[in-house]
Structure 1
Amino acid sequence: MSGTTSRRRLLGAGTATAAGLALATTGSPAQASTRPKPRPRAEQVKLPAGKEWIGRKSANGWAVLDEATKYRVQGAPKLTVRLAKGPAATALLYVVRRYAYEIDTLRPEELAGHTTDRTVGVDFESNYLSGTAVAIQPMLYPLGGTAANGMSELAVTVVEDILADVGEVVAWGGELDPLKQSHFHIATPPGDRRLEALADRIGDWNTRPGKGAGGIDAFNRSRISRSRAAKNTR
Protein backbone atom coordinates (compact mmCIF):
# COMPACT_ATOMS: atom_id res chain seq x y z
CA MET A 1 0.00 0.00 0.00
CA SER A 2 1.20 3.53 -0.80
CA GLY A 3 1.37 6.38 1.70
CA THR A 4 -1.84 7.73 0.22
CA THR A 5 -3.80 4.55 0.80
CA SER A 6 -2.57 4.22 4.38
CA ARG A 7 -3.83 7.70 5.29
CA ARG A 8 -6.44 7.75 8.07
CA ARG A 9 -9.01 10.30 9.15
CA LEU A 10 -9.84 8.98 12.62
CA LEU A 11 -13.10 10.52 13.69
CA GLY A 12 -14.16 8.90 16.95
CA ALA A 13 -17.86 8.70 17.89
CA GLY A 14 -20.67 10.88 19.17
CA THR A 15 -19.40 10.83 22.74
CA ALA A 16 -15.95 12.16 21.82
CA THR A 17 -15.06 15.79 22.45
CA ALA A 18 -14.82 18.33 19.65
CA ALA A 19 -11.06 18.35 20.05
CA GLY A 20 -10.97 14.59 19.74
CA LEU A 21 -12.86 14.91 16.45
CA ALA A 22 -10.23 17.13 14.83
CA LEU A 23 -9.17 15.86 11.42
CA ALA A 24 -6.27 13.58 12.28
CA THR A 25 -4.69 12.83 8.93
CA THR A 26 -1.17 11.91 10.04
CA GLY A 27 0.59 9.79 12.63
CA SER A 28 -0.10 6.40 14.09
CA PRO A 29 -3.79 5.40 14.42
CA ALA A 30 -3.06 4.17 17.93
CA GLN A 31 -1.79 7.64 18.86
CA ALA A 32 -4.45 9.67 17.09
CA SER A 33 -7.68 7.79 17.77
CA THR A 34 -9.88 7.93 20.84
CA ARG A 35 -12.02 4.84 20.58
CA PRO A 36 -15.70 5.28 21.50
CA LYS A 37 -17.22 3.32 24.36
CA PRO A 38 -20.02 0.76 23.84
CA ARG A 39 -23.50 2.21 24.25
CA PRO A 40 -25.47 1.00 27.27
CA ARG A 41 -28.55 -1.03 26.45
CA ALA A 42 -30.76 1.59 28.15
CA GLU A 43 -30.02 3.99 25.32
CA GLN A 44 -31.39 1.62 22.67
CA VAL A 45 -34.91 1.48 21.32
CA LYS A 46 -36.79 -1.50 22.77
CA LEU A 47 -37.13 -4.14 20.03
CA PRO A 48 -39.15 -7.36 19.72
CA ALA A 49 -37.36 -10.62 20.45
CA GLY A 50 -35.36 -12.12 17.59
CA LYS A 51 -36.98 -14.49 15.11
CA GLU A 52 -35.75 -17.30 12.88
CA TRP A 53 -35.42 -16.48 9.18
CA ILE A 54 -36.81 -19.49 7.32
CA GLY A 55 -36.62 -18.33 3.70
CA ARG A 56 -34.23 -19.62 1.06
CA LYS A 57 -33.48 -16.02 0.12
CA SER A 58 -32.56 -13.05 2.29
CA ALA A 59 -34.73 -9.93 2.40
CA ASN A 60 -32.85 -8.36 -0.52
CA GLY A 61 -33.57 -11.33 -2.81
CA TRP A 62 -30.19 -13.10 -2.68
CA ALA A 63 -29.85 -16.85 -2.04
CA VAL A 64 -28.99 -17.89 1.52
CA LEU A 65 -25.51 -19.46 1.55
CA ASP A 66 -24.16 -22.38 3.56
CA GLU A 67 -20.72 -20.79 3.27
CA ALA A 68 -19.18 -17.67 1.73
CA THR A 69 -15.81 -16.65 0.35
CA LYS A 70 -13.29 -15.21 2.78
CA TYR A 71 -11.83 -11.87 1.67
CA ARG A 72 -8.92 -9.91 3.09
CA VAL A 73 -9.62 -6.19 3.50
CA GLN A 74 -6.90 -4.47 1.52
CA GLY A 75 -4.80 -2.06 3.57
CA ALA A 76 -6.05 -3.44 6.89
CA PRO A 77 -3.71 -6.15 8.24
CA LYS A 78 -5.41 -9.29 9.56
CA LEU A 79 -8.88 -7.96 8.73
CA THR A 80 -11.04 -10.44 6.82
CA VAL A 81 -14.73 -10.88 6.09
CA ARG A 82 -16.84 -13.57 4.41
CA LEU A 83 -19.09 -12.35 1.58
CA ALA A 84 -20.99 -13.55 -1.49
CA LYS A 85 -18.54 -13.95 -4.35
CA GLY A 86 -18.45 -11.38 -7.16
CA PRO A 87 -19.64 -7.79 -7.49
CA ALA A 88 -21.48 -7.84 -4.15
CA ALA A 89 -18.17 -8.47 -2.38
CA THR A 90 -16.46 -5.74 -4.43
CA ALA A 91 -19.08 -3.17 -3.39
CA LEU A 92 -19.10 -4.09 0.30
CA LEU A 93 -15.31 -4.31 0.54
CA TYR A 94 -15.15 -0.76 -0.85
CA VAL A 95 -17.40 0.39 2.00
CA VAL A 96 -15.29 -1.42 4.61
CA ARG A 97 -11.99 -0.11 3.23
CA ARG A 98 -13.17 3.50 3.26
CA TYR A 99 -14.53 3.12 6.79
CA ALA A 100 -11.20 1.68 7.97
CA TYR A 101 -9.18 4.38 6.19
CA GLU A 102 -11.30 7.40 7.08
CA ILE A 103 -13.30 6.71 10.25
CA ASP A 104 -11.57 4.20 12.51
CA THR A 105 -8.98 1.45 12.39
CA LEU A 106 -10.88 -1.82 12.74
CA ARG A 107 -10.06 -4.86 14.84
CA PRO A 108 -10.94 -8.31 13.46
CA GLU A 109 -13.81 -8.72 15.95
CA GLU A 110 -15.36 -5.42 14.80
CA LEU A 111 -16.26 -6.64 11.32
CA ALA A 112 -18.87 -9.30 10.50
CA GLY A 113 -20.24 -10.56 7.21
CA HIS A 114 -21.82 -13.88 6.24
CA THR A 115 -23.34 -15.96 9.01
CA THR A 116 -25.35 -19.17 9.17
CA ASP A 117 -27.18 -18.08 12.32
CA ARG A 118 -30.76 -17.54 11.17
CA THR A 119 -31.82 -15.53 14.21
CA VAL A 120 -32.55 -11.97 13.10
CA GLY A 121 -33.86 -8.92 14.92
CA VAL A 122 -35.39 -7.39 11.77
CA ASP A 123 -35.75 -8.57 8.18
CA PHE A 124 -32.76 -6.67 6.79
CA GLU A 125 -30.45 -8.62 9.11
CA SER A 126 -31.27 -11.72 7.02
CA ASN A 127 -28.95 -10.27 4.36
CA TYR A 128 -25.98 -11.54 6.40
CA LEU A 129 -27.21 -15.06 5.58
CA SER A 130 -26.62 -14.44 1.87
CA GLY A 131 -23.23 -12.78 2.39
CA THR A 132 -24.59 -9.50 1.05
CA ALA A 133 -24.29 -7.42 4.23
CA VAL A 134 -21.61 -6.32 6.64
CA ALA A 135 -21.73 -5.02 10.20
CA ILE A 136 -18.93 -2.60 11.10
CA GLN A 137 -18.44 -2.04 14.84
CA PRO A 138 -21.89 -3.48 15.70
CA MET A 139 -21.15 -3.38 19.43
CA LEU A 140 -20.85 0.40 19.18
CA TYR A 141 -23.79 0.88 16.83
CA PRO A 142 -26.33 -1.89 17.58
CA LEU A 143 -29.76 -2.53 16.18
CA GLY A 144 -32.16 -0.07 17.78
CA GLY A 145 -29.44 2.38 18.74
CA THR A 146 -30.34 6.06 18.60
CA ALA A 147 -28.77 8.56 16.19
CA ALA A 148 -28.29 11.01 19.07
CA ASN A 149 -26.02 8.50 20.78
CA GLY A 150 -24.48 7.05 17.63
CA MET A 151 -21.90 8.12 15.07
CA SER A 152 -20.37 11.57 15.22
CA GLU A 153 -21.35 14.12 12.59
CA LEU A 154 -17.93 13.76 10.98
CA ALA A 155 -18.26 9.99 10.74
CA VAL A 156 -21.72 10.39 9.20
CA THR A 157 -20.23 12.83 6.66
CA VAL A 158 -17.83 10.10 5.53
CA VAL A 159 -20.58 7.47 5.39
CA GLU A 160 -22.78 9.77 3.30
CA ASP A 161 -19.87 10.34 0.93
CA ILE A 162 -19.46 6.57 0.60
CA LEU A 163 -23.19 6.22 -0.11
CA ALA A 164 -22.92 8.86 -2.83
CA ASP A 165 -20.19 6.71 -4.43
CA VAL A 166 -22.21 3.49 -4.31
CA GLY A 167 -25.50 5.03 -5.44
CA GLU A 168 -28.60 2.85 -5.11
CA VAL A 169 -26.56 -0.33 -4.78
CA VAL A 170 -25.73 -0.23 -1.05
CA ALA A 171 -28.17 0.66 1.74
CA TRP A 172 -27.06 1.94 5.14
CA GLY A 173 -28.69 0.94 8.41
CA GLY A 174 -28.43 4.54 9.57
CA GLU A 175 -31.23 5.31 7.12
CA LEU A 176 -33.38 2.28 7.99
CA ASP A 177 -36.02 1.72 10.65
CA PRO A 178 -35.10 0.54 13.20
CA LEU A 179 -31.69 2.18 13.10
CA LYS A 180 -28.48 0.15 12.86
CA GLN A 181 -25.63 2.47 11.91
CA SER A 182 -23.14 -0.40 11.76
CA HIS A 183 -25.10 -2.14 8.98
CA PHE A 184 -24.59 -1.98 5.19
CA HIS A 185 -26.23 -4.29 2.65
CA ILE A 186 -26.60 -4.78 -1.08
CA ALA A 187 -29.93 -3.21 -2.03
CA THR A 188 -30.17 -4.55 -5.60
CA PRO A 189 -31.15 -8.08 -6.69
CA PRO A 190 -28.62 -10.57 -8.13
CA GLY A 191 -27.53 -9.73 -11.68
CA ASP A 192 -28.67 -6.11 -11.45
CA ARG A 193 -26.71 -4.02 -13.93
CA ARG A 194 -26.28 -1.21 -11.38
CA LEU A 195 -24.30 -3.53 -9.10
CA GLU A 196 -22.15 -4.78 -11.94
CA ALA A 197 -21.49 -1.21 -13.12
CA LEU A 198 -20.49 -0.16 -9.60
CA ALA A 199 -18.06 -3.07 -9.32
CA ASP A 200 -16.52 -1.99 -12.64
CA ARG A 201 -16.18 1.62 -11.40
CA ILE A 202 -14.55 0.50 -8.16
CA GLY A 203 -12.07 -1.58 -10.15
CA ASP A 204 -11.25 1.48 -12.22
CA TRP A 205 -10.91 3.72 -9.13
CA ASN A 206 -8.46 1.24 -7.62
CA THR A 207 -6.08 1.83 -10.53
CA ARG A 208 -6.30 5.64 -10.51
CA PRO A 209 -4.50 7.63 -7.77
CA GLY A 210 -6.87 9.80 -5.74
CA LYS A 211 -9.98 7.98 -6.94
CA GLY A 212 -10.18 4.84 -4.85
CA ALA A 213 -10.42 4.08 -1.13
CA GLY A 214 -7.56 5.72 0.74
CA GLY A 215 -7.17 8.67 -1.63
CA ILE A 216 -10.46 10.50 -0.98
CA ASP A 217 -11.20 13.63 1.05
CA ALA A 218 -14.86 13.33 2.03
CA PHE A 219 -14.69 16.86 3.47
CA ASN A 220 -13.89 18.52 0.18
CA ARG A 221 -16.63 21.09 -0.48
CA SER A 222 -17.58 19.64 -3.84
CA ARG A 223 -17.88 16.14 -2.37
CA ILE A 224 -20.02 17.38 0.52
CA SER A 225 -22.35 19.12 -1.95
CA ARG A 226 -22.49 15.94 -4.02
CA SER A 227 -23.28 13.72 -1.01
CA ARG A 228 -26.03 16.09 0.16
CA ALA A 229 -27.61 16.03 -3.28
CA ALA A 230 -27.42 12.22 -3.33
CA LYS A 231 -29.00 12.03 0.13
CA ASN A 232 -31.96 14.10 -1.09
CA THR A 233 -32.68 11.46 -3.75
CA ARG A 234 -32.66 8.47 -1.39
Structure 2
Amino acid sequence: MTLNISRRAALRRVAFVAAGVAVGSQVLSLPARAADKDPEPDKVREAIRRAQERNKRVLTGTPSKNGWEMEKTVDSHGHIYTRPVPATPLAGVQMRMAEVETVLVHVVRRFHYEIDTLRKGEVLGWQTPGSVRKGLAESNLASGTAVRIRPGSYPSGARGGFYPMEELVIRDILADCEGVVRWGGDDGRPDESLFYIDVPPGDERLTKVAEKLRHWAYTPGKGAGVLVDPLQPQRRKAAKRLAGRQS
Protein backbone atom coordinates (compact mmCIF):
# COMPACT_ATOMS: atom_id res chain seq x y z
CA MET A 1 0.00 0.00 0.00
CA THR A 2 2.81 2.48 0.88
CA LEU A 3 4.62 1.77 -2.37
CA ASN A 4 1.47 2.42 -4.47
CA ILE A 5 0.82 5.83 -2.78
CA SER A 6 4.40 6.91 -3.37
CA ARG A 7 4.17 6.03 -7.03
CA ARG A 8 0.95 8.02 -7.47
CA ALA A 9 2.48 11.02 -5.68
CA ALA A 10 5.56 10.76 -7.82
CA LEU A 11 3.51 10.65 -11.01
CA ARG A 12 1.48 13.73 -9.96
CA ARG A 13 4.69 15.65 -9.27
CA VAL A 14 6.18 14.70 -12.64
CA ALA A 15 2.95 15.77 -14.39
CA PHE A 16 2.88 19.14 -12.52
CA VAL A 17 6.50 19.95 -13.41
CA ALA A 18 5.94 19.02 -17.03
CA ALA A 19 2.91 21.30 -17.22
CA GLY A 20 4.86 24.17 -15.67
CA VAL A 21 7.66 23.77 -18.16
CA ALA A 22 5.14 23.81 -21.01
CA VAL A 23 3.46 27.01 -19.76
CA GLY A 24 6.80 28.67 -19.17
CA SER A 25 7.99 27.87 -22.65
CA GLN A 26 4.82 29.49 -24.07
CA VAL A 27 5.33 32.65 -22.02
CA LEU A 28 8.95 32.92 -23.07
CA SER A 29 7.96 32.59 -26.70
CA LEU A 30 5.39 35.46 -26.57
CA PRO A 31 7.83 38.33 -27.28
CA ALA A 32 9.17 36.50 -30.28
CA ARG A 33 5.66 35.97 -31.61
CA ALA A 34 4.68 39.59 -30.87
CA ALA A 35 7.76 40.75 -32.73
CA ASP A 36 6.44 39.01 -35.80
CA LYS A 37 3.32 41.24 -35.71
CA ASP A 38 3.20 44.89 -36.81
CA PRO A 39 3.39 46.94 -33.55
CA GLU A 40 1.84 49.95 -35.35
CA PRO A 41 -1.51 49.08 -36.95
CA ASP A 42 -2.63 50.86 -40.08
CA LYS A 43 -5.15 53.01 -38.19
CA VAL A 44 -2.48 54.29 -35.81
CA ARG A 45 -0.09 55.07 -38.68
CA GLU A 46 -2.87 56.90 -40.51
CA ALA A 47 -3.77 58.95 -37.42
CA ILE A 48 -0.13 59.96 -36.97
CA ARG A 49 0.16 60.88 -40.65
CA ARG A 50 -2.97 63.04 -40.48
CA ALA A 51 -1.75 64.77 -37.32
CA GLN A 52 1.58 65.53 -38.96
CA GLU A 53 -0.15 66.89 -42.05
CA ARG A 54 -2.45 69.01 -39.89
CA ASN A 55 0.48 70.45 -37.95
CA LYS A 56 2.28 71.25 -41.18
CA ARG A 57 -0.82 72.94 -42.58
CA VAL A 58 -1.81 74.86 -39.42
CA LEU A 59 1.16 75.46 -37.11
CA THR A 60 4.09 77.80 -37.66
CA GLY A 61 6.42 76.84 -34.82
CA THR A 62 6.84 80.56 -34.16
CA PRO A 63 5.44 82.32 -31.09
CA SER A 64 3.72 85.69 -31.12
CA LYS A 65 4.98 88.36 -28.74
CA ASN A 66 3.07 86.92 -25.76
CA GLY A 67 4.45 83.40 -26.30
CA TRP A 68 1.47 81.70 -27.95
CA GLU A 69 2.12 79.91 -31.25
CA MET A 70 0.99 81.68 -34.40
CA GLU A 71 -1.17 79.63 -36.76
CA LYS A 72 -1.50 79.73 -40.54
CA THR A 73 -5.23 79.04 -40.86
CA VAL A 74 -8.48 79.18 -38.89
CA ASP A 75 -11.50 76.88 -38.69
CA SER A 76 -9.23 74.07 -39.88
CA HIS A 77 -8.57 71.65 -36.99
CA GLY A 78 -6.20 74.02 -35.21
CA HIS A 79 -6.80 76.03 -32.04
CA ILE A 80 -8.32 79.13 -33.66
CA TYR A 81 -11.95 79.21 -34.76
CA THR A 82 -14.66 81.74 -35.54
CA ARG A 83 -16.40 82.14 -32.20
CA PRO A 84 -19.73 83.83 -31.39
CA VAL A 85 -19.96 86.93 -29.21
CA PRO A 86 -23.39 86.44 -27.58
CA ALA A 87 -25.91 89.28 -27.43
CA THR A 88 -24.06 91.42 -29.99
CA PRO A 89 -24.59 91.99 -33.73
CA LEU A 90 -21.12 90.58 -34.43
CA ALA A 91 -21.25 87.58 -36.77
CA GLY A 92 -18.27 85.97 -35.03
CA VAL A 93 -14.64 86.71 -34.20
CA GLN A 94 -11.70 84.45 -35.02
CA MET A 95 -9.84 83.69 -31.80
CA ARG A 96 -8.19 80.91 -29.86
CA MET A 97 -10.71 78.68 -28.13
CA ALA A 98 -11.18 77.81 -24.44
CA GLU A 99 -9.83 80.22 -21.79
CA VAL A 100 -8.59 82.81 -24.30
CA GLU A 101 -12.00 82.91 -25.95
CA THR A 102 -13.81 83.31 -22.61
CA VAL A 103 -11.67 86.28 -21.60
CA LEU A 104 -11.60 88.11 -24.94
CA VAL A 105 -15.36 87.69 -25.45
CA HIS A 106 -15.90 89.26 -22.03
CA VAL A 107 -13.77 92.26 -23.07
CA VAL A 108 -15.64 92.70 -26.35
CA ARG A 109 -19.07 92.40 -24.72
CA ARG A 110 -18.34 94.95 -22.00
CA PHE A 111 -17.04 97.35 -24.65
CA HIS A 112 -20.26 96.83 -26.62
CA TYR A 113 -22.52 97.44 -23.60
CA GLU A 114 -20.63 100.19 -21.80
CA ILE A 115 -18.50 102.15 -24.27
CA ASP A 116 -20.29 102.04 -27.64
CA THR A 117 -22.50 99.68 -29.61
CA LEU A 118 -20.48 97.49 -31.95
CA ARG A 119 -21.66 96.59 -35.41
CA LYS A 120 -20.90 93.66 -37.65
CA GLY A 121 -17.31 93.75 -38.88
CA GLU A 122 -16.04 96.18 -36.23
CA VAL A 123 -14.09 93.58 -34.24
CA LEU A 124 -11.19 91.79 -35.91
CA GLY A 125 -9.48 88.73 -34.51
CA TRP A 126 -6.93 86.40 -36.11
CA GLN A 127 -4.71 87.68 -38.90
CA THR A 128 -2.22 85.73 -40.98
CA PRO A 129 1.34 85.59 -39.57
CA GLY A 130 2.65 87.34 -42.67
CA SER A 131 0.40 90.36 -42.15
CA VAL A 132 1.60 91.29 -38.63
CA ARG A 133 4.90 92.63 -37.32
CA LYS A 134 6.49 89.88 -35.25
CA GLY A 135 8.18 92.11 -32.67
CA LEU A 136 5.05 94.10 -31.81
CA ALA A 137 1.97 93.25 -29.77
CA GLU A 138 -0.06 93.05 -33.00
CA SER A 139 1.65 89.69 -33.64
CA ASN A 140 -0.66 88.29 -30.94
CA LEU A 141 -3.46 88.52 -33.48
CA ALA A 142 -1.78 85.72 -35.46
CA SER A 143 -1.88 83.40 -32.43
CA GLY A 144 -5.58 84.10 -31.88
CA THR A 145 -4.90 85.77 -28.54
CA ALA A 146 -5.88 89.34 -29.42
CA VAL A 147 -8.69 91.38 -30.91
CA ARG A 148 -8.87 94.77 -32.53
CA ILE A 149 -11.98 96.81 -31.80
CA ARG A 150 -12.70 99.44 -34.43
CA PRO A 151 -9.13 99.74 -35.69
CA GLY A 152 -10.20 102.43 -38.15
CA SER A 153 -11.41 104.64 -35.31
CA TYR A 154 -8.34 104.16 -33.12
CA PRO A 155 -5.35 104.06 -35.49
CA SER A 156 -2.07 102.51 -34.42
CA GLY A 157 0.46 105.04 -33.15
CA ALA A 158 -2.11 107.57 -31.92
CA ARG A 159 -3.31 108.27 -28.38
CA GLY A 160 -6.41 110.00 -27.07
CA GLY A 161 -9.02 108.14 -29.08
CA PHE A 162 -11.27 107.59 -26.06
CA TYR A 163 -13.05 110.11 -23.86
CA PRO A 164 -11.92 110.09 -20.21
CA MET A 165 -15.03 108.23 -19.03
CA GLU A 166 -14.60 105.63 -21.78
CA GLU A 167 -11.01 105.06 -20.69
CA LEU A 168 -12.22 104.59 -17.10
CA VAL A 169 -14.45 101.78 -18.36
CA ILE A 170 -11.52 100.22 -20.22
CA ARG A 171 -9.52 100.30 -16.98
CA ASP A 172 -12.42 98.64 -15.18
CA ILE A 173 -12.64 95.91 -17.83
CA LEU A 174 -8.92 95.23 -17.47
CA ALA A 175 -9.36 95.00 -13.71
CA ASP A 176 -12.07 92.37 -14.28
CA CYS A 177 -9.41 90.38 -16.12
CA GLU A 178 -6.89 90.73 -13.28
CA GLY A 179 -3.92 91.50 -15.49
CA VAL A 180 -4.20 88.66 -18.00
CA VAL A 181 -5.34 91.17 -20.65
CA ARG A 182 -3.36 94.21 -21.73
CA TRP A 183 -4.63 97.22 -23.64
CA GLY A 184 -2.54 98.32 -26.59
CA GLY A 185 -3.05 101.93 -25.54
CA ASP A 186 -0.54 101.31 -22.74
CA ASP A 187 2.22 100.11 -25.07
CA GLY A 188 5.23 102.22 -26.03
CA ARG A 189 3.83 102.42 -29.54
CA PRO A 190 0.13 102.73 -28.74
CA ASP A 191 -2.56 100.76 -30.51
CA GLU A 192 -5.77 101.73 -28.75
CA SER A 193 -7.89 99.30 -30.74
CA LEU A 194 -5.85 96.31 -29.53
CA PHE A 195 -6.62 94.10 -26.53
CA TYR A 196 -4.50 90.99 -26.02
CA ILE A 197 -3.69 88.16 -23.64
CA ASP A 198 -0.65 89.17 -21.61
CA VAL A 199 0.36 85.84 -20.04
CA PRO A 200 2.09 82.84 -21.67
CA PRO A 201 0.46 79.48 -22.45
CA GLY A 202 -0.23 77.38 -19.38
CA ASP A 203 -0.31 80.32 -16.98
CA GLU A 204 -2.67 79.47 -14.11
CA ARG A 205 -3.84 83.08 -13.86
CA LEU A 206 -5.60 82.78 -17.22
CA THR A 207 -7.41 79.62 -16.11
CA LYS A 208 -8.47 81.28 -12.86
CA VAL A 209 -9.86 84.40 -14.57
CA ALA A 210 -11.66 82.35 -17.24
CA GLU A 211 -13.34 80.24 -14.55
CA LYS A 212 -14.44 83.41 -12.75
CA LEU A 213 -15.92 84.91 -15.92
CA ARG A 214 -17.76 81.69 -16.78
CA HIS A 215 -19.25 81.69 -13.29
CA TRP A 216 -20.32 85.33 -13.71
CA ALA A 217 -22.05 84.47 -16.98
CA TYR A 218 -24.49 82.23 -15.10
CA THR A 219 -24.89 84.43 -12.02
CA PRO A 220 -27.61 87.12 -11.97
CA GLY A 221 -26.13 90.58 -11.47
CA LYS A 222 -22.66 89.55 -12.67
CA GLY A 223 -20.71 89.59 -15.90
CA ALA A 224 -20.93 91.50 -19.17
CA GLY A 225 -24.26 93.20 -19.70
CA VAL A 226 -24.67 94.21 -16.07
CA LEU A 227 -23.90 97.91 -15.84
CA VAL A 228 -21.38 98.78 -13.14
CA ASP A 229 -20.02 102.04 -11.80
CA PRO A 230 -16.30 102.24 -12.64
CA LEU A 231 -16.03 105.16 -10.18
CA GLN A 232 -17.07 102.98 -7.26
CA PRO A 233 -14.10 103.31 -4.82
CA GLN A 234 -13.17 99.63 -4.63
CA ARG A 235 -13.37 99.14 -8.40
CA ARG A 236 -11.44 102.35 -9.06
CA LYS A 237 -8.73 101.30 -6.63
CA ALA A 238 -8.32 97.91 -8.34
CA ALA A 239 -8.19 99.56 -11.77
CA LYS A 240 -5.55 102.08 -10.69
CA ARG A 241 -3.44 99.36 -9.07
CA LEU A 242 -3.47 97.30 -12.26
CA ALA A 243 -2.73 100.31 -14.47
CA GLY A 244 0.31 101.03 -12.32
CA ARG A 245 1.57 97.47 -12.80
CA GLN A 246 1.00 97.44 -16.54
CA SER A 247 2.32 100.90 -17.36
Do both share a fold (TM > 0.5)?
A: yes
**One-letter amino acid matched to 2:128:** T
What corresponds to 1:20 in structure 2?
A: none
In structure 2, the partner of 1:138 is: 151
The answer to whether the 8 Å contact 2:90/2:121 transfers is: no
Distance 1:138 1:218, change over 3 A: farther
User: Is 1:72 matched up with 2:84?
Assistant: yes
The one-letter amino acid of 1:64's match is M
Query: 5+ residue gaps in structure 2?
Result: 1-59, 75-79
Residue deviations 1:63-109, cap 9 Å, x none?
11121211111110343101011101111111001000111111122
What are the superposed Cα offsets for residues 85-141 of structure 1, whole Å, 9 maximum, x if unpaired? 110111111100100011111112210001115233561111110100000011011
Report what 2:192 is aligned to. 181
Aligned to 2:106: 94
Q: Which has the larger radius of gyration?
A: 2
Aligned residue for 1:81? 93
Residue aligning to 2:225: 214
2:124 maps to: 112
Match of 1:227 among 239, 242, 246: 239
Instruction: State the one-letter code of the partner of 1:226.
Output: A
Residues 101-110 or 191-200, more deviating:
101-110
Quote the sequence identity (%). Answer: 38
Shift, 1:220, TM fit? 4.2
Query: Secondary structure at 1:109's aligned position in 2?
Result: coil
What is the DSSP-based 3-state SS (H/G/I as helix, E as strand, rest coil) of the residue aligned with 2:165?
helix
Task: Mark the runs of 5 or more structure 1 residues left unpaired by the alignment.
Answer: 1-53
AA aligned to 1:182 is S
Query: Would you say 1:165 and 2:176 are equivalent positions?
Result: yes
* Count of equivalent residues: 179
More helix, by proportion = 2
TM-score by length of 1: 0.72
Task: Give the 3-state SS of the residue equivalent to 2:87 in structure 1.
Answer: coil
Task: Indicate if the aligned counterparts of 2:180 and 2:205 stay in contact, CA closer than 8 A.
Answer: yes
The separation in 2 between residues aligned to 1:230 and 1:123, in whole angstroms, is: 22
CA RMSD of aligned residues (A): 1.6
Q: Which one of the candidate residues 68, 71, 75 is aligned to 1:62?
A: 68
Q: Which has the higher contact order (CA 8 A, sep 6+)?
A: 1
8 Å Cα contact 2:89/2:118 also seen in 1: no
State how far apart, in whole Å, the 2-side matches of 1:153 and 1:220 are. Answer: 12
CA distance in 2, matches of 1:169, 1:146: 22
Mapped contact 2:126–2:141 kept (Cα < 8 A)? yes
Distance apart, 1:55 and its partner CA: 6.7
Where has structure 1 moved over 3 Å in runs of 4 or more? Answer: none
Which amino acid is the alignment partner of residue 224 of structure 2? A
